[in-house]
Structure 1
Amino acid sequence: MGRPGPSIIQGSFVKRRKQRRVAGGTEDTTGSPSAAIMSKVFKKTSGNGNITLYLGRRDFVDHVDSVDVVDGIVKVDPSGLNGRKVFVYLTCAFRYGSDDLDVIGLTFRRDIWIKKVQVYPPADGNPTKTPMQESLLKKVGEQGCPFSFQMPTNLPCSVSLHPGPKDDGKACGVDFEVKAYIANEPSNPDEVIEKKDTCRLMIRKIQFAPTNKAGPKVALSKQFMMSDKPIHLEASLEKEIYYHGDPINVSVKINNETSKTIKKIKVSVDQLTNVVLYSSDTYTKEVCSEEFAENIAANSTFEKSFQVTPLLSNNKEKRGLAVDGKLKDEDTNLASTTLSQGDKEIQGIIIHYKIKIAVTASGGG
């Protein structure tokens, strides 16, 4: 038996743009015409009731060359501040391990990027408001204080490493958090900020699917011992980017110049997860594999398209598989490919996929 290859081609998987479902937070339905740009409002109120955080959405799109502005409102009751200020921060963090690690002094969370702004008293006069903020202010009233964050383009998207069926605690991954809090200073390590003085909402940074390009193509030749002729294998995809759940058609061309008969063709999809923090470690998980029985005679040619569909539902038991970040209990899928301009290093978790084609030959010496 012989196995030339595998032939490897790169592909990308991204989240399909769809109507957002509500997950987490306190939900209000905005019925006024001025709020037509949004159908839901997410809010969280601090334990003491002095501040309430409002967001019009929780999914923010990475367009590769730019990222959606994170904009919202904090409703402030000045009577309960006792001279203190109100701040908001947006953080992108990598979490790893279980919360139990913190009990023995090991940190289980590392901030990749963080930005803080003071919203009350306003620190920058009268900033320009986004349409989303204008709609929220009409709902909240005069106590609303707007804030905006512009994320850089080199941050990873929301992603989690799928825990095994017997694993407890939080999954490793990258998440984004908007948090409002009451304090005297924005970042004084000696100041104790009580939980009742804070409110937060988790958000997601999701990958946008750019215009599809022509699919990749790769070719190789394999020569066996005791044979002076090779097998030529060419594989290609019809496009470069696929939405989750879309079938992938892999075109395979074979020129079998040997005296061997090809009996089987295997098409598999691997997920490559690169964890970039203090060092760079890459983990490979097979997310789809199909074998096709064929009979390609010696000194003959062959051309056929094979279809495979990688799905999270077929990989639920695999520990360490990367999946798109989710909010509370909503469904998710295999992690989207990390798309970047290539001019900035991305920290956190970087996702790629590759498709492998292998053929098995036998007989003929």
Structure 2
Amino acid sequence: MSPKHVIFKKVSRDKSVAVYMAKRDFVDHCDVVDPVDGVILIDPVQLKGKKVYVMLSCTFRYGRQDMDVMGVAFRRDLFLVTRQVYPELQDKEKLTHTKIQQKLLRKLGDNAFPFFFEFPDNLPCSVALQPGPSDVGKKCAVEFEVKAFCGENQDDKIDKQSSVRLTIRKIQHSPENTKLVPVAETTFEFLMSEKPLHVKLSLPKETFYHGEPVPVNVEITNSSSRNIKDISVSVEQVTNVVLYSNDKYVKSVAKEETNDSVPSGTSLKKDYTLYPLLAHNKDRRGLALDGRLKHEDTNLASSSIVKQEVLKEVQGMLVSYKVIVRMIASGEVSLELPFRLMHPKPEPDDMVFEEFKRAYLKGIVYGDDDESPTEA
């Protein structure tokens, strides 16, 4: 039995236009980005002679909508492109790029029209700061959206009754894993102590995948006259908002506090295991997430990989991770080591199985309030 593809469908309130898309997550493979494609179904009677357009946008939003006062914009369109799909400006065959589009066009009939967009190289990936329990309105985020609407021309004010908005995500998969073994070490010298404290921190690899434990090796050689105590190891997420504010949010997403001690003249070598999971941080305000779609699970934001030729400011928000070991030696001393937290690059067969599993084990329930999936 061949797996069935889940198709996301959303219809405008007046039934004039509907959007059909085979997926809502689009992968940045570092050298190429998955194109955005789908099909628009129209009702010529409801259109009343108007044209139909489809728009792909990337928006950076900083603050709530009610903060847009005194002419100060707290949002910026990082990318915006609009295409006319009806009346078609090209033959359907020239705009049909995928097999799913072909199947949908055959199934939906003559009033269905394909659309196709390619992402430019310099766009960020989807990321959103997790709101607190009492927060309302739009969150701080980099968001992507496909919008279909009708009008006399594309610059007309969009009528909500005759438009469809579908949130999508641009996510990044890990590049090929390098054989680099991250290591950081340093020496602390203290007053009234002839010999130093030496600390070494290491990880088995540079890139870890979401849901994977992070084993941390700590080596402490205490030749100083101080006694070391209260050793703790943590994973911290660092989010830099590089548009508007240059704010930095540092959040601990996994931590192990211990009673381990290293008296003067002794040493310690120990492995700790940390679990940086969103499941352990559900109510933490300000955590960066990999975007969020309604009714779908998400995870901590992936590490940002910025191409050399791209301006960091265009990225909206940059996310990184580091392991930190802290200890008390009369005062606090610490050592940190950066690493990457990302999605693994799936095999093609795994992706088919995920679609099959979601369709048959979860009852094919997806999307926004008035969305319903169908099968192609």
Size of the alignment, in residue pairs? 326
Match of 1:202 in 2: 167
Q: Residue 76 of structure 1 corresponds to which residue in structure 2? A: 42
Bigger mean CA offset, 88-97 vs 124-133: 124-133
Q: Secondary structure at the match of 2:244?
A: coil
CA distance in 1, matches of 2:263, 2:248: 39
Task: Give distance in 2, aligned partners of 1:141 and 1:162.
Answer: 42
Look up the match of 2:269.
303
Q: Map of 1:214-253 to 2, 5 A cutoff? A: 214-253=180-219
CA distance in 2, matches of 1:41, 1:221: 57
Distance in 1 separating the partners of 2:248 and 2:229: 33
2:90 is aligned to 124
Tell me the distance in 2 between the aligned counterparts of 1:71 and 1:285.
36
What amino acid sits opposite 2:81 in the alignment? K
Mean Cα displacement is larger for which, 86-95 or 101-110? 101-110
Which of residues 295, 299, 319 in structure 2 aligns to 1:351?
319
SS at structure 2 position matched to 1:261: coil
* Counterpart in the other structure of 1:161: 129
Say whether 1:212 aligns with 2:173: no
Q: Which moved more, 1:309-318 or 1:198-207?
A: 309-318
1:186-228 CA distance string (max 9 Å, x none): 2x2xx33322221121111122122222331111110011112
Match status 1:140 vs 2:108: yes
Separation of aligned partners in 2, 1:103 and 1:227: 58
Q: Aligned in 2, Cα 1:197/1:149: closer, same or farther, shift over 3 Å?
A: same
Cα offset for 1:341? 2.5
The separation in 2 between residues aligned to 1:247 and 1:322, in whole angstroms, is 19
Percent identity over the alignment is 46
Looking at structure 1, the residues matched to 41 and 68 of structure 2 have their Cα atoms a distance apart, in angstroms, of 33
Structure 1 residues 134-169: Cα deviation after superposition (integer angstroms, max 9, x where no partner): 122122122221111111232222221111222222
What secondary structure sits across from 1:296 in the alignment? coil
Asked if the contact 1:263/1:294 (under 8 Å) is kept, the reply is: yes
The answer to whether the 8 A contact 2:145-2:168 is kept is yes
SS at match of 1:153: coil
Q: Which moved more, 1:90-99 or 1:220-229?
A: 90-99
> Which stretch of the first structure deviates more once superposed, 300-309 or 266-275?
300-309
Which residue type is aligned with residue 171 of structure 1? K
The answer on whether the counterparts of 1:71 and 1:132 sit within 8 Å (CA) in structure 2 is no
| Aligned residue number for residue 193 of structure 1 | 158
CA distance in 2 between partners of 1:105 and 1:207 (Å): 35
Query: 1:73 touches 1:136 (CA, 8 Å); kept in 2?
Result: yes
Letter in 2 for 1:200: R
Q: Which residue of 2 aligns with 1:4?
A: none
Matched residue SS, 1:310 = coil
Q: Per-residue deviation at 1:108?
A: 5.0
Report the counterpart of residue 171 of structure 1 in structure 2: 139
Q: Distance in 2 between matches of 1:42 and 1:247?
A: 33
TM-score, normalised to structure 1, is 0.82
Instruction: Name the structure 1 match of 2:78.
Output: 112
Q: Is the 8 A contact 1:253 1:301 kept in 2?
A: yes
Report what 1:323 is aligned to: 289
RMSD: 2.4
Mind listing any 5+ residue stretches in structure 2 that lack a counterpart?
A: 331-376
Question: What SS does the aligned partner of 1:139 have?
Answer: helix
| Structure 1 counterpart SS, 2:55 | strand
Q: Which has the higher strand share?
A: 1
Aligned amino acid, residue 340 of structure 1: V
For residues 265 and 309 of structure 2, what CA distance do their matches in structure 1 show? 47
Q: Which is richer in helix?
A: 2
After TM superposition, the score normalised by the length of structure 2 is: 0.79
State how far apart, in whole Å, the 2-side matches of 1:279 and 1:65 are.
Answer: 30
Provide the C-alpha distance between the structure 2 equivalents of 1:257 and 1:105, rounded to a whole number of angstroms.
61
CA shift for structure 1 position 104: 8.1
Greater relative contact order (Cα 8 A, min sep 6): structure 1 or 2?
1
Partner of 1:181: 149
What is the one-letter code of the residue matched to 2:102? E
1:361 to 1:87, Cα distance in 2 relative to 1, 3 A: same
Q: CA deviation at 1:234?
A: 1.1
Aligned to 2:60: 94
Instruction: Note the alpha carbon deviations across 1:30-57, whole angstroms, 9 max, x for none.
Output: x9x7xx5x52111112222222111011
Per the TM alignment, residue 103 of structure 1 is displaced from its structure 2 partner at its CA by 8.6
**Aligned in 2, Cα 1:102/1:264: closer, same or farther, shift over 3 Å?**
closer
The offset of 1:170, in angstroms, is 2.6
Q: CA deviation at 1:262?
A: 2.4
